Amino acid sequence: MDKQTYHEASKRMESLGVDPDYIIGWQTGFLRSPRLEEQRVTPPYDAGYQDGLEGKTDGHGSWVKQ
């Protein structure tokens, strides 16, 4: 895990107004932490988790809240 990538990506997503569920999912996946329980998983969380596992830092575009 690259701490700098983690912090920069998290700050960028927060400043852009990305859905908090996506951010939490991305952080969880990036850190390779266990997923949330099935009943608590939302589509933004799931997308963020997958992007985090893959190390993607640019998949949040469709999750920016207007």
What are the sequence ranges of the domains in the chain? Answer: 1-36+51-56
33 contacts 53 by C-beta, under 8 angstroms: no
C-alpha–C-alpha distance, residues 37 and 6, integer Å: 23
- What mean pLDDT value characterizes the chain? 94
pLDDT at residue 1 above 90?
no
pLDDT at residue 19 above 80?
yes
DSSP of 9-41 = HHHHHHHHTB-HHHHHHHHHHHTTPPPPPGGG-
The two three-digit tokens of residue 6, written as one number: 């983690």
> What is the crossing angle of helices 20-30 and 43-54, to 10°?
30
The two three-digit tokens of residue 17, written as one number: 């107004």
pLDDT at residue 2 above 90?
no
pTM, 2 dp? 0.93
